[in-house]
Chain A
Amino acid sequence: MGLGVLGVVFVVIAALYAVGVLQILTSSDAGPHYKHAVLFAVLAVASFVGANFARPKTVA
């Protein structure tokens, strides 16, 4: 659950970097930051994968 929420947060941060709204820890103060956006997209994927691993499995 926690990792899933974290994944959603990372998706939002990735979108904000991609459209240029977020400028935290960037080399320039304006414009989109695709490198940061891709990084947070990867972190989002990793979080969702982690959430899926942590999900209780039904025994077949």
Chain B
Amino acid sequence: MNLAQALFMGLLQGASELFPVSSLGHAVIVPSILHWSFKQSDPSFVPFLVLLHLGTATALLILYREQWIAIIRGFFGAAIRGQIRNDSERLAMLLLVGTIPAAVLGVFLESRIKSFFASPYVAAVFLIVNGLLMLGFELLRRRAERGASRAEQESHFAEAERISFRAAAIVGACQALAFMPGISRSGVTIGGGLVAGLRHQEAARFSFLLATPVILGAGLIEVPELLKSGIPLGEYVAAAVLSGFAAYASARFLLRYFRSGRLDPYGFYCVAAGLVSLALLEFGL
């Protein structure tokens, strides 16, 4: 992988990680469509992805720095006291409950699932499935909505701190679906949040907060491997920085978009992108 390819992949990963369109699916499909020669089975590809994810996680930590300070304080306060007294403490415990299923499934299943499904054809099919899931989540949501204007419709739904612990665990477990390239982690968690009764913007906030410990933890554990694998660290770090900037910008955009926006456009995009990708892969255009 040359510098230009690394930077492009950094930009793609950072931009698509938080959008509900599957970064992994795009990372599998796009190089194949562009006929790039680097192999994703190459030993240096995993450290590369790890660095890109660290860039994304850093962007999310910066974006939510004040909330994370309150969440960490809230976690220790509630854990030591054995009682939840405020919203930050409740959110900290919800994130713990939501992170555990994803972490368990990630450690035991992620590499097996990813290697099993790591084909651009399969990723394209799952991208279509992801699009249909987004459209399905919105269909379910519309049935529960009341009111004429979007603001009125959203006002009947809750903030992230009000989600139930059972719903947090289910939304967290949904993250495991994203081990299949083409299924979006943020898409299924935002969709899960919507079904659990959160406002769109709050579902996105909960999704981003939920993703941070998993992405950061998985990345930090792999850091020692980065230092001994003899990879072109300078190029990869530049790509990770670019990924971080792209993730920060996309998170800001999405939080603004979901004040009144829906998942529908991303659902239609995923269905169209999956179909076009299948055609391009099949006919080698």
Chain A residues closer than 8 Å to B80, beta-carbon distance: 52
| Known contacts A46-B100, A49-B96; is-contact A25 B108 (Cβ 8 Å) | yes
**Any B CB within 8 A of the CB of A16:** no
**A39 at interface (Cβ–Cβ under 8 A)?**
yes
Q: Is the CB of A43 within 8 A of B100?
A: yes
CB nearest neighbor in A for B220: A38
Contact of A42 among B78, B81, B103, B108 (CB under 8 A): B103
Q: Name the residue of chain B whose CB is nearest to the CB of A36.
A: B107
Contacts of A43 in B (CB 8 A): 100, 104
Let me know if B111 and A52 touch, CB within 8 A: no
CA distance A2 to B38 in the complex (A): 51
Q: Contact at A46–B96, with CB atoms within 8 Å?
A: yes
Residue in B81, B83, B93, B107 whose beta carbon sits within 8 Å of that of A39 in the complex: B107
Nearest chain B residue, comparing its CB with the CB of A55: B82
Q: Considering only CB atoms and an 8 Å cut-off, how many residues of chain A contact the other chain?
A: 16
Contacts of B107 in A (CB 8 A): 35-36, 39
A30–B244 CA distance with the chains assembled, in angstroms? 35
Contact with A along B23-42 (1 / 0, CB 8 A): 00000000000000000000
A28 smallest CB distance to B (angstroms): 11
Assess whether B79 is interfacial by the CB under 8 Å rule.
Answer: yes
Q: Is the CB of A34 within 8 A of B82?
A: no
Q: Binary interface profile of B, 87-100, with partner A (CB < 8 Å = 1, else 0)?
A: 00000010010011
Question: Closest approach, in angstroms, between the C-beta of B100 and any C-beta of chain A?
Answer: 6
B227 at the interface (CB under 8 A from A): no
From A37, which residue of chain B is reached at the shortest CB distance?
A: B221
Q: What's the Cα separation between A49 and B78 when bound, in Å?
A: 9
Interface string of A17-60 (1 = CB under 8 A from B): 00000000101000000111011001100101100110101000
Shortest B270–chain A CB gap in Å is 30
Q: Which of B53-70 contact A (CB under 8 A)?
A: none
Q: Verify B103–A39 contact, CB threshold 8 A.
A: yes
Q: Is B261 part of the contact surface with A, judged by Cβ < 8 Å?
A: no
Question: 21 A-B contacts, Cβ less than 8 Å apart?
Answer: A25-B108, A27-B111, A34-B221, A35-B107, A35-B218, A35-B221, A38-B221, A39-B103, A39-B104, A39-B107, A42-B99, A42-B100, A42-B103, A43-B104, A46-B96, A48-B79, A52-B80, A52-B81, A52-B82, A53-B82, A55-B82
Nearest first, the 8 A-B pairs at minimum CB distance are A52-B82, A49-B79, A39-B107, A53-B82, A35-B221, A25-B108, A35-B107, A39-B103
